[in-house]
Structure 1
Amino acid sequence: MKSGDGTSKGVGACEEALQRLLVGKPVVPEHVALDLSKLTASIVSLEAGFDRGYLKKSRKAHLPLLAQIEAVRAEASKGAGSSSGKKIRQMESQLAALEKTLSIAQMQRDNVLAQNMMLWQRVRELEHSMAYSRSGHSAKVESLLHSDKGMTFTSA
């Protein structure tokens, strides 16, 4: 774009793109949740709809915008040290909570498996007694049906 009007339209588009990136509302999907410490002129150019090399230091009209991009990146990098420590602590806390949830789920699973095994065993005993009762021994079936064999079940 050789005309001054065209250049200012391009810079304006890049300025709008930079603002979208700063407020976290980019139009390019790859720029969603962009870490501002990684902001570059090529990212702003792409967000504005141009190729990666649109913004250049050799173009005087681009210098203020390039300086602004650099300032944003430097500020974000400076604050990244304290925020990364905070992120690590937050992630460690989330990990501890997930480990606790996993442990509870494993205990519940083990309890349910034990109950299922006891139920399976009881069904096998009843099946055997039913087969035995068909041969004329109904008293044995009655006693098995009414006994609980000391089993208690709890909900998981």
Structure 2
Amino acid sequence: MKSGVGISKGLGACEEALQRLLDGKPFVPEHLGLDLSKLTASIVSLEAGFDRGYLKKSRKAHLPILAMIEACRADANNSSGSSNGKNIKRVEDKLVHLEKELALVSSQRDRVLTQNLQLWDRVRELELAARQSKSLKVRLHH
């Protein structure tokens, strides 16, 4: 699905996005593990970096890619027996992605909690120093 001569950049981006979706390697995290029987023009548009309504049946140049999307969706619906393995692979890929994201978010949370504890300790030290300073001033004046 290479972009041909005379095809707009937008249409070329949509073709590349469709290929990424078919390969199971989308850029948009929500599209990871996408069931191809649910593939739509709006999903391809979003994956290509456009809004949902970029691909339109009213645009002649868009008809071939819309037909490819429909064919991919129909093929996914018809090959449900072989798609079980693909579905398992998609779910596993999504799980790996979510595990990585969880590890990252957990690490960020731990870093922020450590910083907060350090700040809390510093505030306590400063409050204690302020109390001792006031106490020392009171003793010096008497």
> Given the alignment of the two structures, is residue 43 of structure 1 paired with residue 73 of structure 2, yes or no?
no
> Runs (4+) of structure 1 moved beyond 3 Å?
none
Matched residues in 2 for 1:71 and 1:64: separation? 10
Report the CA distance between 1:7 and its aligned residue.
Answer: 6.9
Structure 1 residues 72 and 46: CA distance shift in structure 2, 3 A: same
In the alignment, what sits opposite 1:34? 34
Q: TM-score, normalised by structure 2?
A: 0.53
Question: Which is bigger in relative contact order (C-alpha 8 A, separation at least 6)?
Answer: 2
Matched residues in 2 for 1:74 and 1:29: separation? 24
In the alignment, what sits opposite 2:24? 24
Report the CA distance between 1:20 and its aligned residue.
Answer: 0.3
Matched residues in 1 for 2:11 and 2:60: separation? 11
> Given the alignment of the two structures, is residue 65 of structure 1 paired with residue 60 of structure 2, yes or no?
no
Q: TM-score, normalised by structure 1?
A: 0.49
In the alignment, what sits opposite 1:74? 74
Note the residue ranges of structure 2 that are not aligned, 5 or more in a row.
89-142
Q: What is the root-mean-square deviation in Å for CA atoms of aligned residues?
A: 2.4
Report the CA distance between 1:83 and its aligned residue.
Answer: 4.5
Report the CA distance between 1:6 and its aligned residue.
Answer: 9.9
Name the aligned partner's letter for residue 61 of structure 2. Answer: A
Report the CA distance between 1:18 and its aligned residue.
Answer: 0.2
Matched residues in 1 for 2:15 and 2:60: separation? 15
Report the CA distance between 1:48 and its aligned residue.
Answer: 0.1
3-state SS of paired residue (1:34): coil
3-state SS of paired residue (1:45): helix
Report the CA distance between 1:63 and its aligned residue.
Answer: 0.2
In the alignment, what sits opposite 1:56? 56
Matched residues in 2 for 1:36 and 1:12: separation? 20
Matched residues in 2 for 1:7 and 1:79: separation? 31
In the alignment, what sits opposite 2:14? 14
Name the aligned partner's letter for residue 55 of structure 1. Answer: L
Note the residue ranges of structure 1 that are not aligned, 5 or more in a row.
91-156
Matched residues in 2 for 1:19 and 1:79: separation? 19
| Larger Cα-atom Rg | 1
